[in-house]
Amino acid sequence: MGKGKLRKFAENATFHCMVQPALDQVLHCDHPLKGRWGADFFHNDHPIVLELGCGKGDYTVALAWRHPEINYIGIDIKGARMWKGAKFAEQNGLGNVAFLRTRIEFISSLFAAGEVSAIWLTFSDPQIGRENKRLMSPRFLSRYAGFLSPGGTIHLKTDSRYLYEYTLALCEANQLPVRFATHDLYALKPSRPAVVPDASRPAVSQASAAASAADGGSCASLCEMPLDPALFEVQTFYEKHFLAQGYPICYLEFSLSSQEDENSFPEQMFRSPDWDEERWADEDHHAFVIQIHD
């Protein structure tokens, strides 16, 4: 291991915003912060938003800088990468930022029912042909359902058309409410209102309705809502790289439950979708190559 990594690991241990659970704190048991993030770590009752696979933490930090009324937690296993975001948060006194170094497989041991209001997945590995390893899959949705608050949102931002189309199919297979979907986010100008499906429409049709509307198609029973400028202005390292290469960026926002649900639903089982694996795997080769050589 290089001296640079060792230095970063040592510095991480001094950062107040860095939480690094030992294996015995998350394996087959609950971490002491589970259900206590607001009270014991952030010392407030503000909403908590997670970024899964946060990498260098640039997206987590940028969102936290914009929204001091929200607590953000970036999660990744690679401490040397997270060091950059954690150091920035420490040096700039961002009290609404945490970085959690752990495997996302252990996430159920770290957050309690209803504790999280939103999840971001930014440029996750599409895990082509390996559904169970994909952070957007029935296996992981079941875990997210255990701690996401009623009506809480999941945001997917990706260069991977494979991952985007798979997630749309996943939403349709499980009748999950899709609030917005587009396979070319930057074709939508910040000043142009986005179209989203009316909540009164059947959930099973919302994925296709949102995708069609966002990509210029026409759908009935749609309402208009302005896009958050942060979707365009806050960019990860990978996002900047892919935009420079001319690849479109996909964006999808959906929920696991409606606002009317009184409780989150741990142990919820989700179905795998029927979709054209071969087609989208072929179209997504560029993302796969970049990810595995990172």
E strand residue ranges, the chain: 18-19, 48-52, 71-76, 97-101, 116-122, 148-158, 178-182, 193-197, 222-226, 250-255
Q: What's the one-letter identity of residue 124?
A: S
Given this model, what pLDDT does residue 115 score?
A: 97
Confidence (pLDDT) at 41: 98
What the block records as the tokens of 79 is 């401490």
Q: Which amino acid is at 48?
A: I
Would you state the pLDDT for residue 201? Answer: 31
pLDDT of the residue at 228: 80
pLDDT digits (tens, 9 = 90+) for 186-241: 988 554 434 333 333 333 334 444 444 444 432 222 234 567 888 888 988 889 98
How many other CB atoms are found less than 10 A from the CB of residue 135?
A: 21
Domains and CATH numbers, the chain: 3-292 (3.40.50.150)
pLDDT (0 to 100) of residue 237: 85
The residues annotated with a catalytic role in the active site are 125
- Do residues 186 and 215 touch, judged by C-beta distance below 8 A? no
Low-confidence ranges of the chain (pLDDT < 70): 1, 189-226, 258-268, 285-294
CA angle 145, 148, 153 (to 5 degrees): 105
Q: Which residues contact 119 (CB under 8 A, 6 or more apart)?
A: 49, 50, 51, 52, 144, 148, 152, 153, 154, 155
The Cα diameter of the chain in Å comes to: 59
